[in-house]
Amino acid sequence: MNFKEVFEELNFFLQAKKYNISLWQYPPFLFIILGTVIILTIFSTYFIGSRYLQPEIVALSVIIITLILLILDYIIVNSFERLLETNIMKSEFINVISHQLRTPISNLKWTLDLALREKDGDRKTEFLKIIKGQNERMLRLVKDMLFASQLERGKWIFKKELVSLEDIIESVLKDFSIFAKSHNIKIKVDIGENLPKIFVDPEKINQVVSNLLSNAIYYSRRKGQVEIRLKRKDRKIRCEVEDKGMGIPREEQKYIFQKFFRGKNILEQKVEGTGLGLFIAKGIVEASGGKIGFQSEEGEGSIFHFELPMK
Amino acid sequence: MKKILFIEDEFTLQKTMGEFLEKEGYKVIHALDGEIGLKLAKKEKPDLILLDLILPKLNGFEVLRKLKETEETKDMPIIVLTNLGEIGDIEKGLALGATTYLVKADQDLDEVLLKIKRTLGE
């Protein structure tokens, strides 16, 4: 290694930035700190010992110094664990991405095969439609995964504006009217009074509402209605999406916002979803200064709710 | 006409694979999850079972285990057809009694057909 490379390795600021962690999480830096503290303690113990002959004072200072060393040790071990975790998350993510993509890709492979052999024009078109669907599925998956990754790392730039949540909901309802009808679901809307404006990225909040609404419709099992409620709660606006569908089993409730979590009640059509919807919804709501949650009872239905602060 | 039970939760795949196999002269019985698959295996007595491992409700390995433990279904040949392709999964599948373990992304339709024919002794 030449002199420049050695110098760069020793420049902890640069290295920590490269790994995207703070200086206090960068183990080599912490080792230097630990080393310095050890050297200091050796000297201080010597000086204290040679000046104050009472054994109690020496003992006390040794104890204090040991405590400081233990705390530093803990910080170092912690930062290593954090790095390990990040590493595991990254390889898991890659693993899951490859796996999630493999399914539509292999579907595509076989359908293409059949399409190429098919002599009948109409049937060929049928196959091509399926292929188109799988391709769109892959694009959605990649888009969601990239967004989820950027969200996790805090790298997504939200384009915030002063908007009214009712307008966003109206826009979502327009997009979902055909979908709701095809699933035999009625959507009831209850807009409260005196609703504040919020400072958010309208496209992203639209994504949150769309995701909750789409889940509510899918899990309603083709009957009944879904209700969207909007009300003011102190200095926040609260949105609730309620369905009387399958509900979420108690054992699964704590995993519901996790990436790619698939419940056992998952429906056939939902299999083609990305599995990232709620994870992304949570990320967006929290990055917008809000909170998201739900109440659900298996067999009875669910109420998903989120709150956003007013400007 | 030989009967094939296809246990797979993806509707698109059920459709494409189903049509493909029926063109080749097999009768295809569709099951969109493990529980339905187990029921139909007992009821329809297929000559071969194609089993995906990623299924809602009961997972594929459990279905495999149950098929091999139940008297009426334990002798039915099972071809695992899945995208779960780690060495550990393959070993587990074969250890649980699958006749063949195929990773969807690695197979052509013709190769799958060949393995089906071979398993059925054709």
Q: Are A114 and A127 spatial neighbours (Cβ–Cβ below 8 Å)?
A: yes
Question: Comparing C-alpha atoms, which of A279, A261, A258 is closest to residue A147?
Answer: A279
**In angstroms, what separates the C-alpha of A167 from chain B's closest C-alpha?**
36
The residue in chain B having the minimum alpha-carbon distance to the alpha carbon of residue A261 is: B56
Nearest CA in chain B to A266: B56
Contacts of B57 in chain A (CB under 8 A): 264-265
Residue A269 phi/psi, 5° resolution? -70, -35
From first to last of its 311 residues, chain A has per-residue pLDDT tens of 678 877 777 777 777 777 777 777 777 888 888 888 888 878 887 887 788 777 787 788 778 888 888 888 888 888 788 778 778 777 777 777 787 788 888 888 999 988 998 899 998 998 899 899 889 888 988 888 889 888 887 888 899 999 999 999 999 999 999 888 888 899 999 999 888 899 999 999 999 999 999 999 988 877 889 999 999 988 899 999 999 988 888 988 988 898 777 666 665 555 567 778 999 999 999 999 999 999 999 889 999 999 999 87
Q: Please answer yes or no on whether A106 and B12 come within 8 Å at the CB atom.
A: no
**Distance to chain B for A155, nearest Cα, Å:** 32
Residues A172, A155: Cα–Cα separation, whole Å: 26
The answer, as to whether pTM is greater than 0.80, is: no
Inter-chain CB proximity B16 and A266 less than 8 Å: no
Instruction: Say how far apart CA B3 and CA A186 lie, in whole Å.
Output: 42
Of B11, B84, B108, the CB nearest to A268: B11
Is B111 within 8 Å of chain A by CB?
Answer: no
Q: Which amino acid, B73?
A: T
Q: Give the up-direction half-sphere exposure of residue B82: CA atoms within 13 A in the CB hemisphere.
A: 25
**C-alpha dihedral (A94, A97, A100, A103), degrees to nearest 10:** -80
- Tell me how far apart the alpha carbons of residues A90 and A295 are, in angstroms, rounded to a whole number: 31
Instruction: Convert the pLDDT of each residue in B55-113 to its tens digit.
Output: 877 889 999 999 999 999 999 999 999 988 888 889 999 999 999 999 998 888 999 99
Helix (H, G, I), strand (E, B) or coil at A74: helix
Contacts of A226 (CB under 8 A, 6+ apart): A180, A185, A186, A187, A188, A213, A216, A217, A220, A241, A242, A243
pLDDT in tens, A188-205: 999 998 888 999 999 999
Q: Is A51 exposed, middle or buried (0-12, 13-18, 19+ CB in 10 A)?
A: exposed
Instruction: Report CB contact under 8 Å: B83, A266.
Output: no
Strand pairing of B3-7 and B48-51?
parallel
Quote the CA–CA distance of B11 and B9 in Å, as a whole number.
6
Which tens digit of pLDDT belongs to each residue from A107-153?
Answer: 889 999 889 988 999 989 988 998 998 898 889 888 888 898 888 87
Among the partner-chain residues A99, A110, A266, the one whose CB lies closest to the CB of B56 is A266
- How close B83 comes to chain A (CA, Å)? 6
CB-CB neighbors (< 8 A) of A114 in chain B? 16, 19-20, 109
